[in-house]
Structure 1
Amino acid sequence: MTSNVKESFGHSAPPAPAALAAKVRTLAPSMTRSMQRVAEAVAGDPAGCSALTVTGLAELTGTSEATVVRTARLLGYPGYRDLRLALAGLAAQQESGQSPAVTADIAVDDSLADVVAKLAYDEQQTLADTAAGLDTAQLAACVDALAGARRIDIYGIGASGLVAQDLAQKLLRIGLIAHAHADPHLAVTNAVQLRPRDVAIAITHSGTTGDVIEPLRTAFERGATTIAVTGRPDGAVSQYADHLLTTSTARESELRPAAMSSRTSQLLVVDCLFVGVAQRTYETAAPALSASYEALAHRHDPRSGRR
C-alpha cells in the first residue's frame, strides 16, 4: 500500500456489508500481496470467514494476524471484529438472494442478447457498489464548496474528460461558472488563476493520471478547495485533494476496458454533486434551468425561423 492515503480515510464510518465487495475491488490493486489474499478470501467466502477468528483467517490465507487487522482497517473497519460483523451481514444478504452471483466476462462468441444482459448487470452492479461506498459526509462537503464557489475548474482526460464536460455543462445550466479542461497545458494555466472560494475537481479512475494531478496540485497550492473523483483513493491524486469521492468499477476484461465501467460510476457521482448543488441553490438554480430550457426550445422551434 502506498503511503499517501489520507489519514481521514480510515476514520470514516465503516462501510455497510453491501459495500464490502466493492471496497475490495477498489483497493485490492494497491494492497500488498498478503493483504490481497485476505481481502480476496473475505470477499469470496464471507460466510466462512465470518466464522473464523483473526488467527483462523491468518492461517487460512497464509498471512499473519497483523496483516488481517491491517486489511480490515484499510477496508474501513476499526478492527477485525467489525469486519466479521460485516461479513456475517453480507453472507445473510447473499443467502436471501439480495446479492446475485457475479456474471461471467463477455466472450468473443457471446450473442448480442448475452452481451446486453451482461453489460446491464455489470452497469447495475457498478452503480450499486458506488452508491454503497460513497461517503455522504464527503459528498455534502463537496456540495457546500461548489454551491458557494466563485469559479469551478474540472480536469479529466479521455473517458474521464467526457464526464468532466458533462458536469461542467450541468453546472453552467444552473448559473455557476464552470469549465472542463481536457488539455493539460490549458488546465494548469487556468489552475494558476484559482484562489480560495474557487473549486477544482480532478476526475481520474486510476488516481495516477499526471495530466489531471498536476492542475489539481496547482489549484491546491493556490488555496482552492480541491476534490478528487477516483477509483483509487490511495492514489497520488489524494495528496492534493481536500475531499475524496470514491467510485467503483466492474472487473476489467478484454472486451470491457476499465474506462467503460469507471465512466458509469463517475457519472453517478457527478449527478449526485449536481443535484445536491441544485437543491442547495434552488432559488437561483430553478430560474436558470427554466431559462436554458426556454432558450433551447426556442432555438429548435420551426416558427422561430432558426434551426
Structure 2
Amino acid sequence: MTSTTGGIVMIKEMLEKLPPSEKKIASYILTNPQASVTATTNELAQQSQTSSAAVIRLCKSLGLKGFQDLKLKVAGDLQKNKTEGYRDIQPNETHASVLEKMTNNSIQSLKETSEVLNLEELSSAVQALIEADTIHFFGVGASGIIAQDAQQKFLRINKKAMAFPDVHMVATLIGNVQPNDVVVGISFSGETIEVANIVELANKKGAKTISLTKYGSSRISDRSLIKLFTSASKEATFRSGATSSRLAQLHVLDILFMCVATNQYDESIEYLDETRKAIEFIQQKQRK
C-alpha cells in the first residue's frame, strides 16, 4: 500500500459487506484499535470470539497482504491528529462557513484516497496505459465528466483516448477493442450498471480493464482486472454535486497521467509543447 494509515477507513467502509465472522473481528478492531494492534492473530481471534482463519480472511477482504499489514495501518491511524471528518452544509450557512467546510471535506477526501490506493495496482494500471493502443474512459453523469477530463489529458501526450458519454456508442467501440486496448470504468458507487456492463463486455473482448470506484467490493471493481480506489467519502445531502468524490477521482487520474508522462518524460514534454502551440495558433487565428 502507499500509506501506513487508512486501516480504520477500510474497515468502516467494508463492515456491512463482510461475512459474520469477519464482521465480528472488524467491529472489535473499531471498538478496540489499541488492543488490536498489539495482539497476535490468535489473540485477536480469541478476543473477538472467532478464529485465526477468519482474521486472515478479513485481511484478504480488505485487500491487504496479511495481519501485520492491517496492524501497521491501524497503528498509523492511531498516531494521526483527530480531524473533524466530513461535514455537510446547513440551511443559511455563512459563505465563510461553507468555504471552511468544503475545504476540509476536500482535504479529507484526498488524504483518505492516498491511504486506500494500492501501489501495486497503481503500477499495473500505469503500465497498462503506457502499453495501450487505445484507452477508453467511461462513466455516467458526474463520472462521465471525469472521463472527459482524463481523455483530454492523455490526448495531450499523444495517447489515443476516447470518452463518449453515450453507452451505445461506447458499446459499439468496445465491440471492436483489441487485447492491447484499455477500458477504464469510472463510478464512485461502483454499482453503475452501464459501467459494469461495459467492463464485462471489455473483459469478454480481451481488453485490459481498470476500475476507479470508492473503496470496497462492488459490481464494477469485482469485474475489473485492475482495481483503483478512491476514498469512500460520505457525500450527504448534496450528493448530486459529487464534490469530494469528484475531486478524489480527478486526483487518481491526475496521478495516472503524471506517472505515464514521467515514464516517457522527454516525449511528453514535446507533445505538451506542440499541443500548446496548436491551441495558441487557433486562438491567434480567432482574434484576427
> Which TM-score tier does this pair reach, normalised by the shorter chain?
0.7 to 0.9
Structure 1 residues 81 and 293: alpha-carbon distance in aligned structure 2, compared to 1, 3 A threshold: closer
Fraction of identical pairs, as percent: 30
> In 1, Cα distance between the equivalents of 2:148 and 2:208?
19
| 1:83 paired residue number | 70
233-242 vs 286-295, which deviates more? 233-242
Structure 1 residues 83 and 138: alpha-carbon distance in aligned structure 2, compared to 1, 3 A threshold: closer
Unaligned runs of 5+ in 1: 1-12
Q: Secondary structure at the match of 1:88?
A: helix
1:128 aligns with 2:106: no
8 Å Cα contact 2:62-2:216 kept in structure 1: no
1:213 aligns with 2:196: yes
Letter in 2 for 1:135: N
246-255 vs 150-159, which deviates more? 246-255
Aligned pair partner of 1:54 in 38, 44, 48: 44
Q: Secondary structure at the match of 1:230?
A: strand
Unaligned runs of 5+ in 2: none
| 2:208 paired residue number | 225
Structure 1 residues 84 and 196: alpha-carbon distance in aligned structure 2, compared to 1, 3 A threshold: closer
| 1:139 paired residue number | 122
1:71 aligns with 2:58: yes
162-171 vs 48-57, which deviates more? 48-57
Letter in 2 for 1:75: L
Structure 1 residues 48 and 117: alpha-carbon distance in aligned structure 2, compared to 1, 3 A threshold: farther
8 Å Cα contact 1:249-1:261 kept in structure 2: no
8 Å Cα contact 1:58-1:65 kept in structure 2: no
Matched pairs, number = 285
> In 2, Cα distance between the equivalents of 1:47 and 1:108?
39
> In 1, Cα distance between the equivalents of 2:200 and 2:256?
21
In the TM superposition, what whole-angstrom CA distance separates every residue of 1:44-89 from its partner, at most 9, and x where no partner exists?
A: 6533544564156426xxx777655543442344555653444333
Structure 1 residues 279 and 220: alpha-carbon distance in aligned structure 2, compared to 1, 3 A threshold: same
> Equivalences for 1:97-116 in 2 at 5 Å?
97=81, 99-102=82-85, 104-116=87-99
Cα RMSD of the aligned pairs, angstroms, is: 2.8
Q: How far is 1:133 from its partner?
A: 1.8
Using the size of structure 2 for normalisation, the TM-score is 0.86
| 1:165 paired residue number | 148
| 1:270 paired residue number | 253
